[in-house]
Every structure is written in C-alpha cells, then in structure tokens.
Chains A and B, each alone.
Chain A
C-alpha cells in the first residue's frame, strides 16, 4: 500500500513537470514562430487600411511587443487558478471550446482505440496461433501494407468509398447540418464519428496485431506449451489457457501506450473529415497564433497521453502476479 502511494505521488510529480515543460516548449515555439498574428488573422490588405491606433489596439489584443516571459507568467498564473483564458480567434472561453472539442475527439479516439485494440488482438492471435498458415500470411500482409500507408491518404480513400460513392455515412463534421444542438442524438454523433474512427483504427490495428502475433509465437514455442501438448491439449485450448494469459498484459500495456499515436493520427484524420475535434482546433490555433487555445490543447493532450502511459504502468502492477505479490512483501 505504502509502495502504491509512493508510486502514484512520484508519477503525479512527474506529470506536473512534464506539463510544465510542454507548456514552456509550446510557448517558446509560438514565440519564435514566423507567423505574424496580425497579418495572419486580420489580413495583409485589411491591415494596410487601418489607422495606427487601431493597429496598436490589435497588437495589444494579440500580445505583440510584450516580452514572452511576461506573457507566459501571466498565462500560467491564470491557468493554475483554473482560468484557461479566452481564445483570441473564437472570442470564447477556452474551457468552453475545449469542452466541446474534447467530447468529439474523445468519442472518435475511444472508438478507434477500442476497435484497433480488440481487432488487432484477435487478428494477432489468429496469425500467431497458426504461424505460416494462409490466415497468418494474409494478416501479416495487411499489417505491413497498412503500416506503410499514409493516414490522410487512407482517410481520403475511405471517404471516397463510404461517404461519396456508397453514401453510407456522412461526409464530414460531427453532427448533422441544420439540426438544433439539443436535437442531436448520440446515434447521430456515432454516425459521424464512425468513418474517422475506422480510419484511425485501421492503422492502429497493425501495431497491436504484429506485437500480439510475435508474443504469441514466443509463447507457442515455450516449454510450458510443449508440456501442455505432451498432456494432450490441442492448439485451441493451449491458446485459451496459456496464450491469452501470457500475452494479454503486454498487449493492454502497448494499447495504453499507443494513445499518443492515436492522438497524432487524429489530427490528420480530423482535418480530412472536417471533424471538429481537438486536433482540428490545434491546427487552427497554431496557424492563427491563438496562444491560450493552443497551450490548453497541448496540455490536455499531453495529460491524456501521460494518463495512458501511467495506466499501463499501474495495470502491470495490479494484474501481473509477479509484480502484485512483489508489492505485498
């Protein structure tokens, strides 16, 4: 128990440090970015027709001319108090924007995460249990092809097939157009999320599948599986009794650790599907020098990825008897 508390405290401290670093780096990158917020957001021509006072006002609004450190400290003070500030582009509270966007992104990423995890694990087991079989070759071929295919290209192809030609799913966005926000059902959201989620998971599958396959092949070559055979067990029973037991934990760990990849992929996928999630907002905020929004998004993303890795570590300790009993002693 004491061990566990120490473990959690240590990790929380590490998370705070990580988030601080992420914030500083993000801020530094925006500060040295060549994008001029005024010309990017007001427009070069419009800027030319403005008076000096108006320009000064705008410069104050976008924070041009203030020393970066002052700006960062001011932002950090607010952030720690729970105030994420106001988005310069959307002129809304950042927390409100993030709330809406995060909901969309989480739906998309959870779907993709579950789909890729479950499918990848199952395919990996089928391939690994009968190494060298036709099924194994097909699954491996699929994984290798997919891992070398760019996500945005895949997204476009799927969009073309399922949304444009077959018209099974809507082309973009996260809710139907022209429907009151209150009337949007969960099913509507699901219908909009399914294609982006599928795109994301198709690439995610390859990773977990190949990993599961390798691990299962190792297990199937182990002495304890040989002994199980000597005791008359058939392949199916061996996979169920010994295979899954020995590969599930590393697979879950990998899946939790792969959240960062799904996050990265979601930025591209949201862009292609015009899906209003965090990734899309991050791109907009980055290109428009919307510092408060971009910082908030990076920090939230880093926190989610960190939480994924943290869960993976904790799970190991809770599930694996070798670790669990080690803690008890």
Chain B
C-alpha cells in the first residue's frame, strides 16, 4: 500500500494574454507517482520542468493563480485541502529549495523548532543540528550570519524536526559539501528504514542513482520514465531516449551533453514532447503517447519496443 499516490496530476496557471483574455498555461501534465513506506524516490528533471510545483501541489501551497487537477492519496485516503492542512508540518514535511525560505529576522533555532518552548525543544534542536555537523552556536544565529550550506542544513533540520512520515525534499543538497550531503541523505535513508517515505527532487542524476530506490524522470512537465536505480547501471536497461541521453551526459560516461533545450511550457506540440529532439522520432510520434509499464518501470514513448532489449 503506497504512502503517497499521485494520479493524473496536472498543474496550470491562469494567464492573461490580451486584456481580459484568460488562457491556462499547463506546466505539469498527467503525472502519476507513488511512494511506498520505506522507499526513497527521486524526481529528476532539468530546471523549469515543474519539480517544485509538484512538491508545492502535494503540500497544498500552490500560488493563488495556479490550479491543479487529478487525485492525491495519502495512506490510501484522498488527500484534499482540508486533510493536508492538518498533516503538513507534522506527518508530511517540505524541505524547501532555497535559503529565501528562512525568515531573515528570526534566529535559526527558533525556525527549527518553530516556536516550541522548553528545554526539550532546545535539546532536540541542538541534536538535529549536530547530526548535520553544525554546533550549538548555529541556533543563535540569524540567517544572514549563515553560509549557504549552513542555511540549507537549517532548512533541512526544521523539516525533519517533527519526525515526519513523508519527506518531500526540493533540491536539498546544492551548496553542501559532499560530506554534509552524504550525512543529510544518510539521515533520509535512516528515516526510510523506519518506514517513512522520501521524495527527493533533484537535477543530479548521479546523486539520485546512488541514494534512491526508484527514479522518475521529468521532462517539460511530463513524467517520461520511471526506472529502478539499478537500471542506470548501464544504458541498455533505460527505457526512454531522453533518459538515455541523460545517462550519456553523466560524467563517468561519455559526457556528451545533448543539443537543444526542453521546450517552454506554452509550446505544446501534439504528440511526443521529446520528438523535436529525438534522434529516432518518426511520424508515429505525432500521436498522443500513453504512459505505459515496461520491465518493472514506466515509459512514455510510442517506440518503446525500440528500446526494449
């Protein structure tokens, strides 16, 4: 039974093009995802592919001009606005993406325990900080007195303070020293071993491969592949041409970055979103492409047989 299940989620923004003319800008489309207790799942995608919005949608904190459709389930029960309001910050937590998510005028310690009083809260704050290699002085510092890496660890500390069952970590590691990053991800794994679920949002495929169980690849708002971490051991087990291209671009492989860029959200060609960049694109790719199971994972490619080894 999955801890979190996302079905057919799409997120769009209301936009005013000409005066009084409203259009919807769809940034996340037909997204399916599930996280089981004890599992670490990575979402990998390049900048602007909608990763943060997915995290915010799960927590019910999308901006006012955004709307979402689709279904969310937590513990097999629908996760509606009301329910998520009672769960967030307790069972479901967010590790936000940037250090602008810290109040500039509040000391780090107070932000971590979120205003809880008493010795116990203080002790717990210090013990979490020390886990991530920060001393007790950090609790008394204002955000402007912290380095980028320290601020990021303060953000992570404030998220895990409540001992959550589901962690949604939006790029938690950039700016962290490799050792600090290992400690953070090690802590996430520890929580997963105690049956929590972790959704790690990142653009670092190598990091995802090393730390997570499953990897979901995001491209221009679409999930295009879901694979096991070990599928990334060699290129043949990957299911989608974009994922294969990502694999090629990994430093230990041939490091050949791909030409072209992902299309902007408002450019929505009928059919495969990746076709304009795909070496193997054909006329078939103009139809709409379903997300279908393949070898224990999923792929959104009409020519999947082509990649089926």
Contact = CB atoms under 8 A, between A and B. Distances in A.
A222 interface: yes
A226 interface: yes
A245 interface: yes
A246 B98 contact: no
Contact of B104 (A229, A232, A233, A246): A246
B105 A321 contact: yes
Given A246-B105, A325-B145, A232 B88 contact: yes
A223 B89 CA distance: 16
A223 B101 contact: yes
Interface string A217-233: 00000111011111111
Contact of A224 (B88, B102, B142, B145): B102
Contacts of B86: 232
Nearest to B168: A230
Nearest to A227: B101
B45 interface: no
29 contacts: A223-B96, A223-B98, A223-B100, A224-B100, A224-B102, A226-B56, A227-B94, A227-B96, A227-B102, A229-B61, A229-B88, A230-B56, A230-B88, A230-B93, A231-B114, A232-B85, A232-B89, A232-B90, A233-B114, A242-B103, A245-B103, A245-B105, A246-B105, A321-B105, A321-B142, A321-B144, A322-B104, A322-B142, A322-B144
A241 interface: yes
B145 to A, nearest CB: 7
B115 A224 contact: no
Interface in B99-114: 100-106, 114
A226 B144 contact: no
Interface of B: 56, 59, 61, 85-90, 93-94, 96, 98, 100-106, 114-115, 142, 144-145, 155, 158
Interface in A309-329: 320-322, 325
A223 B151 CA distance: 14
A142 to B, nearest CB: 25
Contacts of A227: 94, 96, 101-102, 155
Contacts of B101: 223-224, 226-227
A171 B105 CA distance: 48
A228 B145 CA distance: 21
A224 B105 CA distance: 11
A216 to B, nearest CB: 14
Given A227-B96, A229-B61, A325-B145, A245 B89 contact: no
**Which 5 residue pairs are nearest across A and B when measured between Cβ atoms?**
A232-B89, A231-B89, A227-B101, A223-B100, A230-B94
B286 to A, nearest CB: 40
A323 to B, nearest CB: 10
B105 A230 contact: no
A246 B142 CA distance: 13
Contacts of B144: 321-322, 325
A322 B85 CA distance: 33
B210 to A, nearest CB: 27
